[in-house]
Every structure is written in C-alpha cells, then in structure tokens.
Amino acid sequence: MNLPLDLLAAGGAPLSAATPWIAEGRGKWSRPLRFLSDSRGWVELMRLDPGVRVGRHRHTGEVHALNLDAHRRLCTGEAIGPGEYVHEPAGNVDWWQAIGDSPVVVFVVVMGAVEYLGPDGAVTRRIRTDDRVADYRRHCLATGVEPLDLMQA
C-alpha cells in the first residue's frame, strides 16, 4: 500500500511502527491515530478486505473519510476510489462495502458516536470514544505492546 501522506503517530514515530492494526471482526481492522479530548471522537485508519461490508449505522456527529487505497461502494451505489473524500453529516445513516481485489484503507475522522442499527432501526450497538480507547488498550495489553498516548492534549 502506498500512502499519499507521511503519516506520523504521537511522538513522531512512523505510523507503521507505532500503532497496531486491531481486528474488529472478519476482514475488518482499525489502526487508531488519535483520540479527541472530551470524548469528542477519534481519528483512525480503517481497513476492510474485499467484499466485507460495514453494517447499517448512524453517526451522531460529522464523519470525514478519505480513501487511501483501493475502492468501496456506498449504500447509494457510488464507488469511491483512492484520493476521494466523503463527508457524512451528523445523523447520516449508511452502510458501505469494500469492492475490488485489494483491501480498502480509509482515513477516518469520527466526531461523536457510531450507532449500529438493526432491521427495525433500533440501536444494537453504540461506539463512543471511550470504547475505542478501551479497545486500543485491551489490544496492546493482549499483544504485549506498550500503548502510546494517543489522547489529544
């Protein structure tokens, strides 16, 4: 994968050496870059294997997403490729899927929470900043990796 940016983690370490990919389910990983203060949101890389779908969900705040590598298809049918940007306003309900032959990697800024929805529209799972921090710390503990301070000052 060729990232178009020189991404650096907290402390200036190269991202590839600084933060781990955290498995979130079959064919889905995240790599935390920053957790925003006051539980306002988080910044991460998200990677999905071809064919893997992010289920129907709602955002309580804005989301900014920049495709870094490969392609994904939004629930609207629109295909998003490398270098393409998607803004999702607060309250947006969507789903999307990795398409093509390569894993898609997306740089994502999430403000607020993400609420996964059941078929009836009821919230089945809510992910907040504190949940993302706990996932990161749990992963570091389980793998023997020293967690970085990714909290925004």
Instruction: Give the pLDDT score at 13.
Output: 45
Q: Going residue by residue through the chain (153 aa), what tens digit of pLDDT does each one get?
A: 444 444 544 444 445 556 789 999 999 999 999 999 999 999 999 999 999 999 999 999 999 999 999 999 999 999 999 999 999 999 999 999 999 999 999 999 999 999 999 999 999 999 999 999 999 999 999 999 899 999 986
Cβ-contact 19, 148 below 8 angstroms: yes
**Pairwise CA distance, residues 146 & 92, whole Å:** 36
Q: How far apart are CA 32 and CA 9, in angstroms?
A: 9
Looking at residue 19, its pLDDT comes to: 78
What pLDDT does residue 4 have? 40
What is residue 18's predicted lDDT score, i.e. its pLDDT?
64
- pTM listed for this prediction: 0.87
**Residue 128: which of 56, 48, 38 has the closest Cα?**
38
